[in-house]
Structure formats: structure tokens, C-alpha cells
Amino acid sequence: MEKFQKLSETEMELMQVIWEIDRPFKSSELLEIFVQQRGKEWKGQTIATFLARLVDKGLLLVKREGQSNIYVPRLSPREYKRWEAQSLLNVMYQGSVKNFLSALYDGKEIPEDEISDLKQWFSKK
């Protein structure tokens, strides 16, 4: 996958709806959901702009079908979360889980049950 580019709030909102649709879709279908079900006052061009950004960021594939574009997600929600988490780990913590965890918990008390769960989880990796 290309270099990770974080999604804006609106792009993430679109992707969540796209993942809920769970099939190839047209921009008009997405526009209908956002206008009728989510109360957005968007025009077709607004959706087209956001979809183009998501294609550019590598989250959607676009195929031409007649005069319409059909969009397909390239990543599942789980894959996206893994992609975003790995990017955060690489950029902020030099790819080190230890650096990440120490940033979260340095100077804080970690409950014993969480330590036990983490030890058990790491032992399986």
C-alpha cells in the first residue's frame, strides 16, 4: 500500500458508510444516504470530490461502467485500522511498541490484570 495519508473526519465518515454498504456502489447512492439519512446538504460534486480524494489516498478503487463510476473499497475497516496504527507507530514511536507503551503509561499505574493480559497476548506472538 502507498504511503499512509490520514483521513479527515468527513473522509472517515464516508468510509464508514462505504464499509456498511459492503458492495460496489455509485456516487449517487452515497449521496442519497448522506442527504436523506444523515441530513447533509451536499451536492453531487461534493461527493465526487471526496471520492476522488479517497481514490488518491488508496482507499477506493474506481471502475468506469457506462457513464457512471463504480467504487470499491480497497481495505476492510480492520485493514485500515492496522494501516493507521502502523503509521502512527512508525512516525511517532520509531516503529517500537515498547516506545508507544512507555509513552502511554510512563509514570502511570497499570492495573495488574492488564499487565497479565498483555504478557499473555505477547507470549502468543
C-beta neighbour count of 60 within 10 angstroms = 22
- Split at pLDDT 50, 70, 90, the class of 97 is confident
Confidence check: pLDDT of 51 > 70: yes
92/100 Cα distance (integer angstroms): 8
Tens digits of per-residue pLDDT, 13-26?
Answer: 999 999 999 999 99
Structural domain includes residue 26: yes
Number of domains in the chain: 2
Per the structure, the complete domain to which residue 111 belongs is given by 77-123
Ordered strands of the 68-73 beta sheet: 25-26, 68-73, 60-65
Confidence check: pLDDT of 4 > 80: no
Mark whether 14 and 67 lie in a shared domain. yes
Q: What are phi and psi of 6, to 5 degrees?
A: -60, 145
Query: For residues 93 and 100, is the Cβ–Cβ distance under 8 A?
Result: yes
**What is the mean pLDDT of the segment spanning 22-35?**
94
Mark whether 69 and 82 lie in a shared domain. no
Structural domain includes residue 29: yes
* Domain limit, last residue, from 36, 57, 73: 73
Mark whether 67 and 101 lie in a shared domain. no
What does 59-114 look like in DSSP terms, one character per residue?
SEEEEEETTEEEEEESS-HHHHHHHHHHHHHHHHHTT-HHHHHHHHHTTSPPPHHH
- Split at pLDDT 50, 70, 90, the class of 42 is very high
